[in-house]
Amino acid sequence: MIGGIPDKMVFMPTADETLDEILNLAAAHFKVPREKLSPDDDFFRALGIDSLQTLDLLTKLENHFRVELPDYELQGVTDFRTLAGKIQARR
């Protein structure tokens, strides 16, 4: 609590902020220019990643956002915006 306000209310980032963080992180980690990535991109195609690298991305996201993302929750998720929603729901 800070000044009577619960911590989550003070520090909870917005969905757009989470999305932006994901795009920055993915661009840096997979060495893709940030301006080439858009929220609705298919991230497998945009990042050019295979199944082993997808696991690498999952680990990076979990470590960065300090959340647990069960693999099955990400099944069928292909764009950054939906991914951000999944992470936001666990923050």
Please report, as ranges, the residues that interact with another protein according to CB under 8 A: 44, 49-52, 54-56, 58-59, 62-63, 68, 70-72, 74-75
- Give the residue from 74, 58, 71, 69 showing the smallest Cα distance to 91: 69
Closer to another protein by CB, 65 or 88: give it. 65
> Dihedrals φ, ψ of 2, to 5°?
-125, 120
CB 67 within 8 A of CB 90: yes
Closer to another protein by CB, 35 or 50: give it. 50
**Least separation, in Å, of the C-beta of 36 and another protein?**
20
**Least separation, in Å, of the C-beta of 43 and another protein?**
9
Closer to another protein by CB, 49 or 84: give it. 49
Give the largest CA-CA distance in the chain.
47
